[in-house]
Structure 1
Amino acid sequence: MNGTWWQAAARVPDAGRRAQALARQLQLTKPQGSLGRLEQLAVTLAGLQGRSDPSVERIWISIFAADHGIAQEGISAFPQEVTGQMLANFAQGGAAISVLARHLGAELELLELGLVQESVPLPGVRQLRIAAGTENFLHQPAMTSVQCAHALLAGREALQRALEKGADLFIGGDMGIGNTSSACALACLLLDQPAKRLVGAGTGMKDSGLQHKTQIIEAALKLHRPMVDSPLEALTRVGGLEIAGLAGAYIAAAQEGMPVLVDGYICTAAALCAVRMNPGIAPWLLYSHRSAETCHQELLDALDAEPLVSLEMRLGEGSGAAMVVPLLQAACRLHNQMATFQEAAVSGSRL
């Protein structure tokens, strides 16, 4: 496939299966709509998976890790070496997403796309190392076009591995000190908004730190905004390697016909970029939770997305999405296993 594979059309959800699922919901032994969004989820998944019995039992989680040059500007409450340390924690099974993946019986894949310091090989970590982190986008583009293309492709290849394992659902996660600044700058360029509208506390910046972070991002936007003429250019100039990896995975999932459960702020910024790069992918993206990052809502509104829960989470790692998987599983099981009025010999509604 050529260098613009991300522009290839997404699959079209199966309208016939969706209609069948909707008809079944009307026959189940419950008042219509009484299971709320669980009914909608089952119907949506039936259309996306092209099957009358939707299932999300086989979960694939890819965590993309990379460092950010913008961290040099003191925009995070944590030092940059935490990225590599947390990647090791993932590999050792001690992180939140590691615990949740074990609980779900999910396949957890770890991808190092570019740490500042070359890391010691870790069991279970794919070390791609596209670059030694991004450049400081306060002064220059974060990535070259070639680096961005490699990161997008890393996401596509992760999705291909999920397909080969027969996954029903793809979850992407992120790790990278400084990545809320990158996500904010990217969203500002895509939505034509000032930094103060979309900046968030990230790892826990307080008032003075948040003001400094806002000023840094606004200065960077002033540098890059005149040169941005496409979502891909915005991603290259202020994005992160892990954000590009996520975007590539989301686009590939829609092209291959696999539903995606999107995590919080970073992943939603990647989803926004992916949808702007290829609008046809939008139906394949389900949104798991509303992050405690107040600016997350702005991104959700831009995507016309209504997340399933709001748990005041802001950890990243794909953790919010993993928390929501049991809801999808319950929706599918209710749809598949509940009796119809006819099967249960129960009189149905006449309304």
Structure 2
Amino acid sequence: PQLTVGRGSGINDERMKIKRQVVIDGLAKNMPKQGDAMDILCKVGGYDHAGLAGVIIGAARRRVPTMVDGVNATAAALLAYGLYPQCRNYMLCSHLSSDISHKKMLELMQLSPIVDAGMRLGEGTGASLAIVVLQAAMDVYNHLSR
């Protein structure tokens, strides 16, 4: 937890200790099997992670890309990747969060963020910005290919 649990949107030191202790206690009590995405999901994941992982896998099976935005969505994407590795080919990572775990999760899936601005705002701001960047890139591509 000292290497993966970050401040999120900017919690103080006291809240950080509590946050890390919750992770330590949860791992000790549930003992998820490293490398087993389903076991991890069942033992320490939440319904939000399961739902997002399902959406990512379902979209990938239909060859539809998904925009992964933020640390929690990336955790769900990592679980989806563990369950169905091919879904990685249909994931777009909106941005690189300043949270310490985000970069590590993206590296495990070999994904690159569209925007790297040290964001930690939440509320879909990374996806909103990434979509504008992608639209601009498509506009330039379409203009140059005429």
| TM-score (normalizing by structure 2) | 0.90
Structure 1 unmatched runs, 5+: 1-194, 341-351
Give the whole-Å Cα distance in 1 for the aligned partners of 2:141 and 2:35.
Answer: 45
Give the drift of 1:331: 1.5
Match of 1:248 among 48, 54, 57: 54
What are the residue-to-residue correspondences of 1:297-336 with 2, within 5 Å? Answer: 297-336=103-142
**Does residue 1:225 correspond to 2:23, yes or no?**
no
Deviation per CA, 1:234-260, whole angstroms, max 9, x where unpaired?
112111211211111111110111111
Give the drift of 1:228: 6.8
Give the drift of 1:284: 0.3
Give the whole-Å Cα distance in 1 for the aligned partners of 2:32 and 2:62.
Answer: 35
Give the drift of 1:312: 2.4
What are the residue-to-residue correspondences of 1:16-35 with 2, within 5 Å? Answer: none
Structure 1 segments (4+ residues) deviating >4 Å: 226-229
Give the whole-Å Cα distance in 2 for the aligned partners of 1:336 and 1:330.
Answer: 10
Do the aligned partners of residues 325 and 229 (structure 1) sit closer, same or farther apart at CA in structure 2, a change above 3 Å counting? closer
AA aligned to 1:274 is A
Match of 1:263 among 69, 87, 92: 69
* Number of residue-to-residue matches in the alignment: 146
Match of 1:285 among 75, 91, 96: 91
User: Match of 1:236?
Assistant: 42
Give the drift of 1:283: 0.6
AA aligned to 1:220 is G
CA contact (8 A) 2:6 2:16 kept: yes
CA contact (8 A) 2:31 2:43 kept: no
Give the whole-Å Cα distance in 2 for the aligned partners of 1:310 and 1:227.
Answer: 32
Give the drift of 1:204: 2.7
Give the whole-Å Cα distance in 1 for the aligned partners of 2:33 and 2:89.
Answer: 30
AA aligned to 1:254 is A
Give the whole-Å Cα distance in 2 for the aligned partners of 1:320 and 1:226.
Answer: 30
What is the root-mean-square deviation of aligned Cα atoms in Å? 1.8
User: Match of 2:21?
Assistant: 215
Give the drift of 1:263: 0.5
Deviation per CA, 1:151-180, whole angstroms, max 9, x where unpaired?
xxxxxxxxxxxxxxxxxxxxxxxxxxxxxx
AA aligned to 1:269 is A
CA contact (8 A) 2:119 2:126 kept: yes
Give the drift of 1:265: 0.7
What are the residue-to-residue correspondences of 1:1-351 with 2, within 5 Å? Answer: 195-225=1-31, 230-339=36-145
Do the aligned partners of residues 339 and 252 (structure 1) sit closer, same or farther apart at CA in structure 2, a change above 3 Å counting? closer
| TM-score (normalizing by structure 1) | 0.39
AA aligned to 1:308 is I
SS in 2 for 1:252: helix
AA aligned to 2:25 is A
Give the whole-Å Cα distance in 1 for the aligned partners of 2:78 and 2:87.
Answer: 10
Give the whole-Å Cα distance in 2 for the aligned partners of 1:214 and 1:267.
Answer: 19
Structure number with higher helix proportion: 2
